[in-house]
Amino acid sequence: VFEIYCIHSDDVFSTLKVAIIVRNGAYGLINMENSLILIPTAYDELEWLNHQYFNAKKGNSYQLIDFQNNVIINQENLEPYAHEYPNLFFKKVKGSSKRDYFSYSGVYLGSFVEDSLVALANQHYYAKQNKWQKKIVIIQPNGHLLAEDVDQILFSDNYQTIAYKKEKQWFLYDTKSEKQLATTINISQIHLDHLQHYIADLYILTTSNGIGLYDAKNDIWAISPDEKIKKVQHLDNEFLTIQYKDGMKYWDASCNFLSEIYSHVSETYDRNLFQLLLYKEDELMALLANNEIRSLSSQEIGQLYNHSGQLSSEDKVA
């Protein structure tokens, strides 16, 4: 008796106690909780692979089935199917160092060397470069290639979109809707910065019209491209700074707010007191927790001076 992990459509796992049984020399699977037969005793061999999947042998050939006897992979295979972490099945290719890879739904993804495939969002994958494969390929859930001859790919674990570079041009793609994004934009550079850990599906794009901030999840500009923008970078939590030739603004992702221009914007030494520090000529102000802005008192400026060691060198100069 052992427990298997059943995967549901919403990626939630449940456990089930089962046992492999044999009748007249044929193997099957029984649910130990209600004594119902899950896999009929019709196989010459039955071996649990992982989660809810089993290698089932008939005659000289193996196929991969799930705990309810649904066929996942039905290709002639003289050896049991194997599993590669985190969510791939494979069978070895005779006379080659490559393997035939399959997704958990049984879709054939292609032949690649070990540890080549990397999982992306929504059952997409990409194959890394190696000595046998000079360029990246990106694979859709149906096994078709989204793109090949790709030079670079950008993605994040909490992103449903990806960015990839091909022939010196950048592209954006939504894995959920399976469509290309920003198709009318000529993108020369893309950056994620540290904002990927706080704000999903947001990209810093350099275009023919300047630098902007693109909300790929909603396929819209959060900050339109502007030739006056020199740099966009993550500041703290959901705040970004937008540096212009004549000053700096901040952008609050939580409410999609772009500030007026300041001489300098910096993070604070104590987030319990202020969200940001704002410098405007000779005046020092702070963004409060309620998003109000007020000038700092002489005493607060003194406290800031005493804690200046917690600020970056760039902020100290400001």
DSSP code per residue over 52-107: TEEEEEETTEEEEEETT--EEE-S--SS--EEETTTEEEEEPTTSSEEEEEETT--
> Is pLDDT at 41 greater than 50 in this prediction?
yes
At residue 136, the pLDDT reads: 96
pLDDT at position 316: 46
Per-residue pLDDT reduced to its tens digit, 96-152: 889 999 999 999 999 999 999 999 999 999 999 888 888 999 999 999 999 999 999
Percent of the chain having pLDDT more than 70? Answer: 95
Half-sphere exposure of 268 (CA within 13 A, CB side): 21
User: Which pLDDT score, from 0 to 100, does residue 42 have?
Assistant: 96
pLDDT in tens, 250-304: 999 989 999 999 999 998 877 778 899 999 988 889 999 999 999 888 877 777 7
